[in-house]
């Protein structure tokens, strides 16, 4: 890790449902290895894997060992940290839709050196409610005498407002909100966490952070990867549900929130929740004017011929699902009144590029001629480069050297990689650490999840009702032409995706 060391997490058993699945193998285990290396975990962290495959403790260890070695993680697999960690991994084989497995978990926890436990659901979302109810029925969520019991849930958290509400109700019937850790992996990213620091540790930034000085905000999560082998999941989901109410709204909330009274979990989550609740809810007509979507066509990408989205394996040939979406939203608060927030995300685009771009207002008339169309005096921009090439850029104007008074735009450019080592993390280290510590700052609260879904529900309803097809766009492009029109109607353009 960078910069400073932290004390090891308290003793606990991490119970992973879905212990042989991809999430566990690719993310959770490498994360636990990194955390062990960094001293974030002590020898009193135990892992209890649960899955349907038959076998005992040695089966899971072998399964993980082989996977790490065969999938480019040899370094992790050969590390001291893994040798130590694997002695503390045990396994229960069984069906988590049946009661017997919960009795066995209970028995194991009674014999564990600590009764603390975090239950991680690395399984299909349709099982989230059922597993939670069964844990509660078997007393596994009872917190007594200083013992903690927590559940960690991956996205997707529902597929619309009603299903998210229902899932929250089921979870909160069996567990207290303080026990529920809803993960949005974007919040584990160093650069996302840095948004709050950029704002609240810098007077020269935060003082301008309002509708007096900000012209508009763009939030982009562009992906170079296509849908690939995820056709089944993706066709039922689409770009809007997959990325907007969760990842993009987390970025938006960080950008638009008021300064919290303190950085404790509830203060931060209160402020973020207020932003999401202030997102304007559009009528169907307004939704149609403020959203566009696209699906990629066949074409070359990364030196290969990419089939069109509708020709992807497990995607319906007549699919209406979008692989690109762009929205124009408003946060109806005093600070942000009148400032449009343009959001876009898509697959098979020109480059991988997640960024927040704050464009400030033009300077008022001064000794320079008024300059909306002058390329030598563009408005100031602050670019928070979330990934890749994590950093921060500031676009300002200077005097171009010479006798004539001429301005020239330049960019102040900070890149994390020039100063820190943040490259070898999975992004889950801080999430798991805080889960173990019991700090919910980086996790989503029920009300915020529902507020996010409420704001996108008009778009979901619109596209379900009108049966329209997404507009085509070429792989490797910046997205469909309708997205340029959406922002172009306001006399603005999208920030370039990828390096200029």
Residue numbers in the known binding site are 18-25, 95-96, 155, 185, 189, 223, 242, 347
Query: What is the token pair recorded at 438?
Result: 């019991």
Q: How far is the CB of 253 from ligand BG6 (least distance, A)?
A: 16
Considering beta carbons, is residue 94 or 156 the nearer one to ligand BG6?
156
Which of 3, 76, 5, 71 lies closest to 41, judged by CA? 5
Within positions 55 to 94, which residues make up the interface with ligand BG6, using CB under 6 A?
Answer: none
Considering beta carbons, is residue 198 or 345 the nearer one to ligand BG6?
345
Catalytic residue among 63, 216, 247, 495: 247
Considering beta carbons, is residue 190 or 223 the nearer one to ligand BG6?
223
Whole-Å CA distances, 317 to 88, 310, 321, 469: 48, 5, 10, 12
Q: How far is the CB of 151 from ligand BG6 (least distance, A)?
A: 19
What number of chain residues touch ligand BG6 (CB under 6 A)?
4
242 binds ligand BG6 per the rule CB under 6 A: yes
Q: How far is the CB of 119 from ligand BG6 (least distance, A)?
A: 21
Site string (333-352) toward ligand BG6, x via CB under 6 A: --------------------
Considering beta carbons, is residue 223 or 355 the nearer one to ligand BG6?
223
434 binds ligand BG6 per the rule CB under 6 A: no
Q: How far is the CB of 344 from ligand BG6 (least distance, A)?
A: 14
Site string (172-211) toward ligand BG6, x via CB under 6 A: ----------------------------------------
Considering beta carbons, is residue 237 or 407 the nearer one to ligand BG6?
237
154 binds ligand BG6 per the rule CB under 6 A: no
Q: How far is the CB of 321 from ligand BG6 (least distance, A)?
A: 12
Phi, psi torsion values for 146, nearest 5 degrees: 75, 10
Q: Is there a catalytic annotation at residue 111? A: no
Q: Of 223, 271, 450, 471, which lies in the binding site for ligand BG6, with binding defined by CB under 6 A?
A: 223
- Contact residues for ligand BG6 (CB under 6 A)? 155, 223, 242, 354
The set of catalytic residues is 247
């Amino acid at each position: 890790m960078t910069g400073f060391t932290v004390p090891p997490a308290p003793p606990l058993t991490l119970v992973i449902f879905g212990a042989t699945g991809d999430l566990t193998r690719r993310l959770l285990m490498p994360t636990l290895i990194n955390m062990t290396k960094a001293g974030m975990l002590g020898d009193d962290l135990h892992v209890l894997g649960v899955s349907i495959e038959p076998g005992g403790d040695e089966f899971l260890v072998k399964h993980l060992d082989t996977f790490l070695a065969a999938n480019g993680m040899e370094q992790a697999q050969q590390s001291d940290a893994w040798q130590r960690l694997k002695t503390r991994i045990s396994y229960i084989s069984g069906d988590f839709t049946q009661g017997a497995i919960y009795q066995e978990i209970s028995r194991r926890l009674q014999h564990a050196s600590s009764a603390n436990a975090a239950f991680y659901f690395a399984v299909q979302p349709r099982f989230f409610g059922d597993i939670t109810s069964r844990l509660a029925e078997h007393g596994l969520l009872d917190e007594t005498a200083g013992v903690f019991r927590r559940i960690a849930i991956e996205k997707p958290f529902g597929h619309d407002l009603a299903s998210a509400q229902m899932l929250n109700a089921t979870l909160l019937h069996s567990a207290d909100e303080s026990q529920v850790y809803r993960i949005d992996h974007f919040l584990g990213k160093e650069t996302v966490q840095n948004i709050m620091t950029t704002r609240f540790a810098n007077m020269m930034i935060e003082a301008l952070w309002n509708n007096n000085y900000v012209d508009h905000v763009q939030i982009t999560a562009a992906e170079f990867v296509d849908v690939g082998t995820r056709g089944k999941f993706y066709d039922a989901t689409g770009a809007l549900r997959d990325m907007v109410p969760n990842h993009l709204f987390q970025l938006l909330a960080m950008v638009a929130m008021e300064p919290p009274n303190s950085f404790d979990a509830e203060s931060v989550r209160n402020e973020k929740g207020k932003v999401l609740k202030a997102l304007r809810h559009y009528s169907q007509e307004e939704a149609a004017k403020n959203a566009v979507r696209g699906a990629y066509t066949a074409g070359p990408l990364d030196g290969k011929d990419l089939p069109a989205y509708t020709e992807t394996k497990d995607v319906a040939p007549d699919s209406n699902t979008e692989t690109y979406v762009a929205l124009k939203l408003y946060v109806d608060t005093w600070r942000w009144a009148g400032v449009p927030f343009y959001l876009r995300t898509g697959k098979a685009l020109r480059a991988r590029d997640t960024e927040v771009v704050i464009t400030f207002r033009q300077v008022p008339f001064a000794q320079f001629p008024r300059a909306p169309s002058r390329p030598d005096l563009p408005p100031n921009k602050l670019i928070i480069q979330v990934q890749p090439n994590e950093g921060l850029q500031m676009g300002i104007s200077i005097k171009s050297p010479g006798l004539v008074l001429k301005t020239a735009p330049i960019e102040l450019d900070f890149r994390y990689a020039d100063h820190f080592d943040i490259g070898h993390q999975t992004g889950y280290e801080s999430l798991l650490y805080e889960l173990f510590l019991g700090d919910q700052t980086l996790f989503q609260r029920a009300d915020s999840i529902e507020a996010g879904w409420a704001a996108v529900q008009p778009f979901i309803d619109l596209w379900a009702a009108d049966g329209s097809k997404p507009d085509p766009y070429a792989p490797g492009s910046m997205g469909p032409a309708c997205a340029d029109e959406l922002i172009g109607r306001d006399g603005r353009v999208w920030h370039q995706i990828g390096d200029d």
